[in-house]
């Protein structure tokens, strides 16, 4: 699977990650699928609802996920996944990320080093939930 971000969507994710530093940001990916390619046309900033350890954890309530699904439908798009940032850590999913992920969705992670977004990588949870496959990211 390959993920393509239109420039405005990638810029919005990076701006969100920068604004929330040193805490993790999170949001939804809206777009379409063409064969083995996911095209992210829009992102929605969502609130990190964690009350503690926000520098290394995020939480999305079911209500926020439902809102993102509704918004995607209104726009004639698909909810393709959820992005988040890793402040001062690599763009690699943690065990916590794996435990809270679902198959099908794409999970881009933005590494933010000293307040600046640097690396963007995307991951997809294996069907057996044992780990991730990395998705190619194209801009």
CATH number of the domain at 129, please: 3.40.140.10
In a domain, residue 66? The reply is: yes
In a domain, residue 110? The reply is: yes
The boundaries of the domain holding residue 53 are 2-134
Segment 54-68 shows an average pLDDT of 93
In a domain, residue 139? The reply is: no
Range 75-79, long-range pairs (CB < 8 A, 24+ positions): 75/30, 75/42, 77/30, 77/31, 77/32, 77/41, 77/42, 78/30, 78/31, 78/32, 78/33, 79/28, 79/29, 79/30, 79/105
The pLDDT of residue 124: 97
pTM to 2 decimal places: 0.95
In a domain, residue 59? The reply is: yes
Percent over 70 (pLDDT), the chain: 99
The pLDDT of residue 60: 93
d(CA 39, CA 60): 23
Is 139 a residue whose pLDDT tops 80? no
The pLDDT of residue 29: 98
Segment 106-124 shows an average pLDDT of 98
Total domains in the chain come to 1
In a domain, residue 120? The reply is: yes
**What average pLDDT does the structure give for the chain?**
96
In a domain, residue 88? The reply is: yes
Percent over 90 (pLDDT), the chain: 94
């Amino acid at each position: 699977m390959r993920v393509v971000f239109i420039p405005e969507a990638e810029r919005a994710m990076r701006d969100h990650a920068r604004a929330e530093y040193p805490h993790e940001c999170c949001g939804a990916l809206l777009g379409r699928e063409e064969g083995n390619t996911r095209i992210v046309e829009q992102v929605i900033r969502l609130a990190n609802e964690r009350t503690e350890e926000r520098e290394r954890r995020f939480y999305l309530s079911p209500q926020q996920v439902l809102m993102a699904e509704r918004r995607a439908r209104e726009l004639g798009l698909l909810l393709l996944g959820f992005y988040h940032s890793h402040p001062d850590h690599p763009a690699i999913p943690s065990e916590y990320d794996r435990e809270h992920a679902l198959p099908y969705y794409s999970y881009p992670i933005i590494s933010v080093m000293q307040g600046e977004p640097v690396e963007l990588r995307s991951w997809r949870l294996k069907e057996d939930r044992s780990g991730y496959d990395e998705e190619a990211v194209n801009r």
